A and B are shown apart, each in its own frame.
Chain A
């Protein structure tokens, strides 16, 4: 598995750029990924989405459905795409350190 080093931290990532384990997540990871996900600067709203995803994942062991994410954050899906141009799965989940979405994607 390829490794990336950023600000003194080392991450194992797959081809799609997802980290191999949620436990390895740290704020530096977000900083490292943001550019490849089309994000200049992280705002409080970015962090809100990331934290909602992480809390849900810790509690339920899966990522929330889009409908739940929009309900809990209060952000419309369109707005989530404004925050994360590649969307809640490839963008926000990747930055939050959640496992890669699977199924018929």
Chain B
């Protein structure tokens, strides 16, 4: 279909093998003038190498303080159909399993009340409905809640939409029911999600094992990562089948052709702790030295399985660079059992929130507050004992603070007595 705007640069992006977002939007433009103007506006941005959305935008639905990202185009004279182009975040089902029936209902609603464009999904996890006008926000919200049984996701200084890996639904490595944890946390903390009350945003992500398919360690203020504390389960028959070339290593990720796996070179020598031994017949693992990195299990999924005494490592503090530099989450609880109703975990989280809400500066992520006050202050506030597993190496500078109560004599000192022993 011919667009009412010229888009020569965008048309270049209809070439090549990858699914073209331009071709897709253009298809929708036949029915939705909003899409047509969106392409026109984007072409202008390509030409001028500048964004054409105005700063910020504060819109929403009554009762909630977030969930909608307001946007206004700065050239409504040229592109009136995207004068308003607000985004709604819709809370997705854990791990993003859908029925086509539900998706069809959502699409019908969105084609009627919005641009028909979506982002499946936002990086935090939400289903993102891209582009509508202010007067449609309450009607969309009404439809979502009354007809589709769905709610908005989070935005602003609040708990953002939790998300998780596919977990036990389709992965034999999952040490956690990641979906149940995500659903439970989402439902328990609806109030924190919909009505901003924090110094800044806060995210939960849950992965069933250290492969961390949802990248919890990098993208969540609280990262919940599955692990086990007993032994890796070994099927020696299957190990020998890998060695004999009967089973394909890594589930075929490096080619599905059958080949003999060199267990010494490709598994034992690559184990980060060197805790494995292979004599050509039997694989031995000294589990007390295993750090549960997943390598051997990833290479021989049919032979090795995580243990059965499963739980999670809880880490805190990941964030993007602004302001004080990027951080990955740090281990705070090396191991915690995770079973419904997750009381122990929730008690911990509420202590973390109390501390951060009391001490966090405006727009200070948890990771930055931990940096500013120190891990020691954080551990004291959440009543957790320090543990060697929380650090990669001990500190190498000697600027060590002591609690005066732990030092005989405290900080009181008598300068006169000092001078009697040391004459000036």
Which residues of chain A have a CB within 8 Å of any CB of chain B? 15-16, 18, 38, 62, 65-67, 77-78, 81, 85-90, 94, 100-105
Which residues of chain B have a CB within 8 Å of any CB of chain A? 54-66, 69-70, 72, 84, 155-157, 191, 195-199, 201, 357-358, 362-363
> Is the CB–CB distance between B56 and A77 below 8 Å?
no
Q: Which residues in A have their C-beta under 8 angstroms from that of B61?
A: 86
Q: Taking CB as reference atom, which chain A residue is nearest B76?
A: A15
Q: Which residues in B have their C-beta under 8 angstroms from that of A86?
A: 60-65
Q: Which residues in A have their C-beta under 8 angstroms from that of B358?
A: 67
Q: How far is the CB of B193 from chain A (nearest CB, A)?
A: 13
Q: How far is the CB of A13 from chain B (nearest CB, A)?
A: 12
CA distance A86 to B60 in the complex (A): 7
Could you write out 23 A-B pairs with CB less than 8 Å apart?
Answer: A15-B57, A15-B70, A15-B72, A16-B57, A16-B59, A66-B157, A67-B358, A77-B195, A81-B63, A86-B61, A86-B62, A86-B63, A87-B60, A88-B65, A90-B59, A100-B56, A101-B58, A102-B55, A103-B363, A105-B56, A105-B66, A105-B69, A105-B156
Q: How far is the CB of B192 from chain A (nearest CB, A)?
A: 10
Q: Taking CB as reference atom, which chain B residue is nearest A18?
A: B58
User: A interface, by DSSP: helix, strand, loop or mixed?
Assistant: loop
In the complex, besides A78-B195, A105-B57, 8 extra interface pairs with C-beta distance below 8 angstroms are A16-B59, A66-B196, A81-B195, A86-B65, A87-B64, A90-B58, A90-B59, A103-B363
Q: Which residues in B have their C-beta under 8 angstroms from that of A15?
A: 54, 57, 70, 72, 84
Q: How far is the CB of B320 from chain A (nearest CB, A)?
A: 10
Q: Which residues in B have their C-beta under 8 angstroms from that of A88?
A: 65
> Is the CB–CB distance between A87 and B196 below 8 Å?
yes
CA distance A72 to B350 in the complex (A): 23
Q: Which residues in B have their C-beta under 8 angstroms from that of A66?
A: 157, 196-198
